[in-house]
Amino acid sequence: MAETRSTTTPPGLILLAVSLCTMLYALTTTIVNVVLPQLQGALSATPEQVSWVVTLNVIATAVFTPVTGWITARWGHRAVILWSIIGFSISSLLCATADSLVALIIYRIGQGAFGAPLVPLSQAIIIAVYPPERRAFAQGVFGMAVVIGPAIAPAMGGYLAEVYNWRYVFILILPICAATLLASWLWIHDAGERSLARLDWTGFLMFSIAITSAQLLMDRGERLDWWESSEVLAYIAIIGASLWILIIHTMTATQPFFNPRLFLDRNFSIGVLLVFIYGMLNITPTVMIPTMLQNLMGYPDSMIGILLAMRGAGMILGFFTVARMGNLDPRIGMIIGIVAIGMSGWNMAQFNLETAPLAVALNGVMQGYGSAIMWVPLSLVAFATLNARLLPDAAAIFHLLRNFGTSIFVSASVLVVSRTGRIGYAEMGEFITPFSDVLRFPNLMGSWDAESVKGLSALSSEINRQALMVGYTNSFVLYAVVSFAAIPLILMVKIKP
């Protein structure tokens, strides 16, 4: 990797610049999640369709993240960061002007593609600039700075969306884009020679086809009735063929898209599995909770923003804790973090239609706390034993799998809500007849009755609301199970004597 520090720029300023870069990308996920329910109504979309605003953004990031090492080698990290910020800013502005769901999704894909190099390149710069004994400190400061924006943004975005409309959550991003561009222009510099290595287009295309098909399979499978659909079977065939070509090509090519030597390192191999699970767990609640709170419980956008911000507050608290755990076995921090995340998932599985805002807020604090405590030791362990020359490629794969885990698990969670919600609706509906006790006292039950279309519609809406709540609790059970399943992997991490 080219030297990432000029002789006149202090490491602290470089750390500040790359922290702003990562914060810029991170806050776009949390701030958009606040307005998903409003987007659903404004753009006439179903819950499954509006979730594409998040999942296709993450898929675009996953597709373009592995290219970071190649474009950085050819054009230098300064040029890559500056042009990524400019492209990201233009995409954000276009998001604010979108007048249809399709247009918004296209612009969100642009956000993901231009934002993809920011996180892995920032982490690679930190590892290159700071010596091993200072990396834990740098990662802690980096992580804390990264969550400040996502912690504040949901509350601000929720307020702006409620007072004005959803477009203002994208307008809010633009001043941060300007500050990040200025900091990167002033403090990030290139030094040394660049490489003219060619991109492995075969590997890149096969990888892109595989993960895009996997995402389409998860998003459309339930709607198409899975195995009964020729489209679903086509996706499965495309995934299998592209992965087979990718694996064979990687083993035989001189300069493959993915460097197979990376996976000879035990800690890195375990680390990418863990970060895949971390990606599954980190963002999914911020997608599921807002739609649940607004659609089923009637919470306003401003309240949803405040509740999501509590998760950011928990992350800040977690990073303060991590700073005092520097000499402990990193497996301890990762286990504490994953257990806290798992417990938050179990708590969410106990939510019902009468759950108080305080319970949602406290659970968000626990979840953010666990995410922060797990992130720093996981980042350190994954790269601890790698050769410095492999760091850019390693960071790209690391964040690629984190993003891919997010997109797949968001789709899986939406699928669980949709499928089990329909099953719950059918089962509950069997108990509603003209002789049901609930319909015997129409004066007490308000608009519920079996004698009018309006009464039946109101009753159907209530059954659907309760069935969807069952669907959400089922998705949170899955969330908890995945969390606790990661513990054996953590125990396999090798600690250097």
Task: Note the pTM of the prediction, 2 decimals.
Answer: 0.78
Q: Do the beta carbons of residue 159 and residue 32 sit within 8 Å?
A: no
In angstroms, the CA 355 to CA 190 distance is: 53
Q: Do the beta carbons of residue 282 and residue 301 sit within 8 Å?
A: no
Q: Do the beta carbons of residue 30 and residue 286 sit within 8 Å?
A: yes
Query: Would you list the DSSP string of 20-79?
Result: HHHHHHHHHHHHHHHTHHHHHHHTT--HHHHTHHHHHHHHHHHHHGGGHHHHHHHH-HHH
pLDDT, position 21: 87
Residue 323 belongs to what H/E stretch? Answer: helix 301-323
pLDDT, position 444: 55
pLDDT, position 148: 66
Query: Out of 1.20.1250.20, 3.40.50.720, 3.40.50.11540, 3.30.365.10, which CATH number does the structure's domain 11-199+257-421+470-491 have?
Result: 1.20.1250.20
pLDDT, position 82: 92
In sequence order, the β-bridge partners of residue 191 are 3
> Would you give per-residue pLDDT tens digits along the chain (497 residues)?
444 444 467 888 888 888 888 888 777 766 787 787 788 888 877 766 787 887 788 788 878 887 877 788 788 878 899 999 999 999 999 999 998 888 999 999 999 899 888 888 887 788 778 877 777 677 767 766 666 666 667 777 777 887 888 888 899 889 989 999 999 898 887 654 556 667 788 888 898 888 888 878 887 787 777 888 888 899 999 999 999 998 998 888 877 877 888 888 888 889 899 999 998 898 888 878 888 888 888 888 788 888 888 887 888 888 788 777 767 788 888 999 999 999 999 999 999 988 899 999 999 999 989 988 888 888 888 887 777 677 767 877 887 788 788 878 888 898 899 889 888 888 877 777 666 666 666 555 556 666 666 777 777 788 888 899 999 999 999 999 999 999 999 988 877 65
